[in-house]
Amino acid sequence: MVVGRVVRIVGNEFHVETPQGLVRCTLTNKVRRAREGANKPAAVGDEVEVEPGEAGEGVFLKTLPRKTKLCRAKGSEGQLEGVLVANAEQVLAVFSARSPEPDFRAVDRALVMGEAGQMKCAIAINKVDLAGPPPEVAAYRKAGYPVFETCAVTGKGVDEVRAWIKGHTTVLMGPSGVGKSSLLNTIEPDWKRKVGALSGKIEEGRHTTTWVEMLPLEGGGWIVDTPGIESFGLWGISSEDLSAFFPEIHALEGKCRFGNCRHISEPGCAIKAAVERGEVNTKRWEGYRGLLKELQGSEGPSWK
Ligand SMILES: Nc1nc2c(ncn2[C@@H]2O[C@H](COP(=O)(O)OP(=O)(O)OP(=O)(O)O)[C@@H](O)[C@H]2O)c(=O)[nH]1
Ligand SMILES: [Mg+2]
Ligand SMILES: [Zn+2]
């Protein structure tokens, strides 16, 4: 038996990186039967015990306890927990300055998922060769997030990203076509992740990365490439908890008149006042309210 880390899942095959090399595992009938109808027994990033066999194949034995999990809602009605990545420590929310146009709701969603998983979060604004960084970036810096301005083509800003990810397990999240895989290729040119050409509808990237994959970093640590899904449904976050995942809102909410203030239009709301004074960014407040509505169920699920 050896302990390894799941680096990718292809269908029912788990690819596990172990001290003895990569082991491709299928589930035994016993494991499969015990989990009928449930989620997969492991996610990318999980530490697992496997029994290596011949020719790089092996048998999946069990998953060890997780330290963290990055989750989204899945299933037709978002009723199931989908563990996107286990044991990650950091989230890098990636968007592009142009092509596709910045989608700050996707950035907020990625940050909230990371914050809820108690991970360190940062932002990479990619394709700065095509356009300058949008003004909204200042709001994220003010909220305390490192913001890297990158270009996967010229390598601009990539050293800063390398320094931030070194020695940690970092998940790249962001819409399709923003250049997540391209950034990874620039970070470690040996990987040659498949990178997509933008489709006919120029603004809308085609999904190129179709599965979550974890890659080792030369300087230590791991990086996880995810398929660009614009709107993962939030999982395991109650509407009461949401404000805790917007640091600049959380810092002020103790000053609201009511302890249970949700910062929409309640009297004496310190957040609304701070927005009016320009101290909290309007777009971030809108982002918060959008996610709050979604969690309160007054809007249908917005994930795909
Ligand atoms: N001009 C410019 N183009 C870039 C940059 N980074 C990526 N691209 C291009 O953008 C397109 C999409 O890049 P990908 O790396 O496949 O994007 P992705 O985020 O991995 O997309 P999915 O895998 O679909 O989620 C490709 O045509 C890249 O060549 C950049 O910094 N500048
Ligand atoms: Mg990709
Ligand atoms: Zn309030």
Residues at Cβ < 5 Å from ligand 3 ion = 256, 261, 263, 269, 271
How confident is the model at residue 74, as a pLDDT? 82
- pLDDT at position 275: 96
| Cα–ligand 3 centroid distance for 108 (angstroms) | 19
**CB under 8 A, 24+ apart: contacts of 145-152:** 145/111, 145/121, 146/122, 147/122, 147/123, 148/122, 148/123, 148/124, 149/124, 149/125, 150/124, 150/125, 150/126, 150/183, 151/126, 151/127, 152/126, 152/127, 152/179, 152/182, 152/183, 152/185, 152/186
pLDDT 10s digits, 56-99: 999 999 899 999 999 988 877 778 888 999 999 999 999 999 99
b/e per residue 191-217 (b: at least 16 CB within 10 A): eebebbeeeeeeeebeebbeebbbbeb
| Atom of ligand 1 at shortest range from CA of 154 | 31
Tell which one of 99, 156, 182 to mutate to probe ligand 1, the residue whose CB is within 8 A of the most ligand atoms.
182
How many structural domains is the chain composed of? 3
Q: Classify the C-alpha dihedral 200-205-208-210 as positive or negative.
A: negative
The ligand 1 atom at the shortest distance from the C-alpha of residue 195 is 16
Supply the CATH number for residue 252's domain. 1.10.40.50
Q: What is the pLDDT of residues 112-121, one digit of tens each?
A: 999 999 999 9
Is residue 51 domain-shared with residue 165, that is, in the same domain? no
In this predicted model, what pLDDT tens digit does every residue of 174-207 receive, in sequence order?
999 999 999 999 998 777 665 654 433 333 445 5
Task: Give domain status of residue 197, yes or no.
Answer: yes
Higher per-residue confidence, 299 vs 284: 284
Q: Which domain holds residue 175?
A: 84-225
Residue 28 lies in a domain: yes
The per-residue pLDDT for 73 is 87
CB neighbourhood size of 245 (10 A): 21
User: For a pLDDT cut of 70, what percent of the chain falls above it?
Assistant: 88
> Taking 80 as the threshold, does the pLDDT of residue 271 lie above it?
yes
Closest approach atom of ligand 1 to CA 193: 15
pLDDT for res 191: 74
Domain contains 260: yes
- Enter the pTM of the model: 0.91
Of the candidates 112, 113, 138, the one whose C-alpha atom is nearest the C-alpha of residue 125 is 138
CA distance 290 to 294: 6
| Ligand 1 mean position, distance from CA 162 (Å) | 18
| Residues 24-41, mean pLDDT to the nearest whole number | 71
- The mean pLDDT of 211-223, rounded to a whole number, is 90
How far is the C-alpha of 16 from the C-alpha of 240, rounded, in Å? 38
Predicted confidence at residue 114, as pLDDT, reads 95
160 pLDDT above the threshold of 90: yes
- Record the tokens describing residue 140, joined without a space: 């994220």
Instruction: Tell me: do 127 and 197 sit in the same domain.
Output: yes
CATH number at 176 reads 3.40.50.300
Q: Would residue 101 count as lying in a domain?
A: yes
Q: Are residues 52 and 176 in the same domain?
A: no
**Residue-level pLDDT at 198:** 42
Contact criterion met (CB below 8 Å) for 216 and 204:
no
Do 149 and 267 lie in a common domain? no
Nearest CA to ligand 1 atom 7: 179
Choose between 14 and 11: higher pLDDT. Answer: 14
* Band (210; pLDDT cuts 50, 70, 90): confident
| pLDDT of amino acid 207 | 59
Atom nearest to 229 CA in ligand 1: 25
Asked if the model's pLDDT at residue 232 lies above 60, the reply is yes
Of the ligands numbered here, which is closest to the C-alpha atom of 270? 3
Which residues' Cβ are closer than 6 Å to ligand 1?
A: 126-127, 129-130, 151-153, 176-182, 195-198, 205, 207-209, 227-228
- The answer to the question of residue 71 being in a domain is no
